[in-house]
Structure 1
Amino acid sequence: MASEVAAVVNRCESGKESQSLDLSECGLMSVPDAIFHLMRETTVLKCDLSRNQLKKLPSKVAIKFKDIVEFNASNNQLSTLADDFGQLKSLTHLNLSTNNIEMVPEAIYNMSSLIHLDLCNNNICEFSASKLLEMKSLKIVNLENNPLTSDCFYLLSNLNNVEVKLSAR
């Protein structure tokens, strides 16, 4: 346990210089408040929380790291995303692949600078094509390996202004 805590502290310290917080594969079941204290005077542009055991991301991540450009929370056990994540106005890349997401979190539709969205390997059946079209900056959406309904698959596969990656039927 002490070595895991030391590893997280060391990664926070190295993230201060690079403005990139890499807490991937740390065995995290939650995001410790100590991280926000350690990174309090740092602008975090990249955050990697992948390959942990997170079931939930606190709003505090979006509030404290408001300038984040790239966020990776893949390979966790997330089912949703707090509404505050929709306030991330600089976020261009979001990876929530390989989680337990069944419905696309509403916060995603509010991310005004999002270019690349990865939601592959989840449990998503529906995705609002109309809301997707309202996301003017979005260029690529990966929805491979999701149980999309036939209607949703058809609508998404016929979009022209966004590259939607879908699994073959």
Structure 2
Amino acid sequence: MKSVAAIITTAVLAGFSQACSTPGNYIVTFYGYPDNSPPGPATALNCGGRNGKAGGTGTYADPITIATAPGELNNCEIVYLPLLTKYGRVEDTCEQCTTDWKNGQPHIDIWTGSNSVNGGNNQINCENSLTFGGRYSIVRNPPTNYGVDTTPLFVAPNTCNTNHVYPSNPAHC
């Protein structure tokens, strides 16, 4: 039988492991149907009932798909992306992210567009327009009630919502 002190210590330590944090210095890029590998909506992980397809509106209940290096973040982990005011979930891997992570540079790639329509070169041009350069913070173990902009980043055939990216938004818990 565990002592009361052991139970309290375990509960406190569990709380620390779930504490919100704001790691920074992430390269942030974008990908979608036409430049996924292979092209299409398939993801490496099956998280949250999407049957292995990328997507999401960016709410906590429906986070946008993000890709990163294996081990950089936890599989199916939900993070908050102040750059987009959206929640994202690790559902995929990214070759360039893996290279960068092995070289000590955190990198996430964020899904744009539909999981059923290939936006072609218009979508790739939009992804490039959304990639501002610089380094950004994310929020790990975020609260579920942050403000969210559910505007899609790309809508085929050629709507690119670069005005729904907020590079000066700070990350905070």
Q: Which category of TM-score, normalised to the shorter sequence, fits these structures? A: under 0.3
Could you say which structure has the larger radius of gyration? Answer: 2
Normalized against structure 2, the TM-score is what?
0.22
Normalized against structure 1, the TM-score is what?
0.23
Bigger share in helix: 1
Q: Work out which structure has the larger RCO, using CA pairs closer than 8 Å and 6 or more positions apart in sequence.
A: 2
